[in-house]
Structure 1
Amino acid sequence: MSSNPDFSDFFYAAPDGLQLHARIYGEADSGNWPVVCLPGLTRNARDFHQLALYLSTRVKHTRKVIVFDYRGRGESARDPDAANYNVGVEAGDALAGLAALGIEEAAFIGTSRGGLIIHVLGMIRPAILKAIVFNDIGPVLEAAGLAHIQSYLERTPTPKTFAQAVDAQRRVHGADFPALTDSDWERMVSALYHLTDGGLMPDFDPRLADAVANLDLTQPLPSLWPQFDALAAIPLLAIRGANSKLFSVETLREMQKRHPAMEAITVEGQGHAPFLETGDLPDNIATFLDRAEQLS
């Protein structure tokens, strides 16, 4: 395990032997539930940096925070078999990492694909889930949102400079995120890209885009309502971007009907998926986790 002033890099072996990576914030055992953060489809641990710092150092009830890079993203190795880029394998990878760290239960925060992985964990290892935060994800994925993801993955830019990367992201996502500041966009680009000799490159295996490109959006998409219903006894906070195309208001309302104790936040001026370090979200998440633990 190597060290950084803010976190430690933890490398471990997946069940199939692939080397995977996680960031560990807050080394000391605070006695509070640890928090596991799971990023979106093509994203990585850097997305959670500011939130992880907040939860591990800047609140009264500090927590150890574990943020995973899935296989093929960030500092984790790319898989020679692209078929392994699926939520079932990635759920198993997360469990392997937590086992290597000796963590048997935790609160989980899942952005987009991370939330789908949490649905899977609820079926295969429900006891590990002490509380859940879903960031712009639910049991139903809207075809319009997936089409938007298909569109921008097909045209993923390879900018030469940081400024060009910021401009490219604003052109693609700006209409859905009018609330973001210049520093928010810059932070997004710093998390998404890595520097190569040819310029900035998205920090994920490009074969990930193939799985999304091959989705037939003319057919009804399967839902995860049975998996969601299995989470009924677990404290749950759902965060939705007001401009989200992937996570609909109707799905959020149905989730509240099925899980009446579920808390919900709508983030104005943001789409899929809200930046969890912005506005009151860090405090809202920390307060939710504290309340859930106190009531457990």
Structure 2
Amino acid sequence: MHTDSVRCLNATGFHNMVYHEWGSRDNARVLVCVHGLARNSRDFDELALALSREYRVICPDIVGRGASDWLPSGQPYDIPQYLSDMTTLLARLNVDTVDWVGTSMGGIIGICLAALSDSPIKHLVLNDIGAFVPATALQRIAEYLGDKHFQSLSDVEQYMRSTYLSFNNLTDKQWRHLAKYGSRLQSNGEYALHYDPAIAEAAKHSCSDDVDLWPFWSAIKIPQLLIWGEESDVLPEQTVRDMQANDQLELFTIPEIGHVPSLMERPQIEKVKMWLREQHRHN
């Protein structure tokens, strides 16, 4: 794994967005993996490693998360900012086309980019996110976000185990990985979650309305794999059924879990790997 950063523009200046790169830089086949609202790029370590022989895999920390800078006080954490940052990253990569894996918020960013004319995205994997997100699900997510502090990494791990219930099949080693990279050690010796607390505040103020992405999703004309946690409140069954009207969409259902599949379990990794391989076989 190689770590780099790119300078992106915000309303009052610049900020650094860190990204991790796997595989050969000479590989013209590029996969961008983008994490969820309160997560970070290291969620994709196992997926990136598994795909690094076939792809140059790029996993960014979206601004305000992980090793990336936080936005200046008062600057909004919103989709337009993320689209701008990802466009800057794609320009840095200097490639004509990419494939995209997006978990939750990362999938929303992918949907918005893939809907645009002449988009570089050619294959889109959506991890438990679709064309409509109910406000009730957004409110639930907003409830567990915040400026939380912990006395030890073990406390961080216990918080994550009790919060990310859909990750229930992960090993102890994987949970330790999530705790290590999902937290930051502060000067007072306590641990905090590895994102700007302003993200939590923004989520609480923007969760009163449904997110309707149908106009964007309807404009997408590329193959898609939709990974669905069958008990997900973020991706309701009716939304999944409506999306299946698109004959370029393949559905991968994971029973007995909700939002969001970890993409750290072997069957999930293998499904993404084989689906992407099949798409390129047809091209």
Give the alignment's TM-score, normalised by structure 2: 0.91
Contact kept, 8 Å, 2:31 with 2:99, in 1: the verdict is: yes
Aligned to 2:214: 225
Q: Give yes or no for contact 2:19–2:59 (8 Å, CA) kept in 1.
A: yes
List gaps (5 residues or longer) in structure 2. Answer: none
Matched, 1:191 2:185: no
Is 1:214 matched with 2:205? yes
Farther-moved stretch of structure 1 (90-99 vs 77-86) = 77-86
**Which residue is equivalent to 1:53?**
49
Distance 1:113 1:189, change over 3 A: same
How far apart are the structure 2 equivalents of 1:195 and 1:292? 42
Deviation at 1:28, TM superposition (A): 3.6
2:56 to 64, 67, 73: 64
Deviation of 1:177 (Å):
4.4
Deviations 1:66-92 (A, max 9, x none): 111111111111110443311111111
Alignment CA distance shift 1:134-1:82 (3 Å): farther
Matches within 5 A, 1:1-296: 7-16=1-10, 17-31=14-28, 33-57=29-53, 62-124=54-116, 126-154=118-146, 157-174=148-165, 176-197=166-187, 198-217=189-208, 220-231=209-220, 233-257=221-245, 259-296=246-283
Partner AA of 2:238 in structure 1: E
Distance apart, 1:200 and its partner CA? 1.7
What amino acid sits opposite 2:121 in the alignment?
L
> C-alpha distance in 1, partners of 2:180/2:254?
22
User: What is the count of residue pairs matched by the alignment?
Assistant: 279
Alpha-carbon offset, residue 243 of structure 1: 2.7
Amino acid at match of 1:229: S
Rounded Cα–Cα distance in structure 2 between residues aligned with 1:186 and 1:295:
39
Which ranges of structure 1 fall in alignment gaps of 5 or more residues? 1-6
Quote how far apart the aligned CAs of 1:292 are. Answer: 1.1
| Equivalent position SS for 1:272 | coil
Instruction: Label 1:25 to 1:268 Cα distance change in 2 as closer, same or farther (>3 A).
Output: same
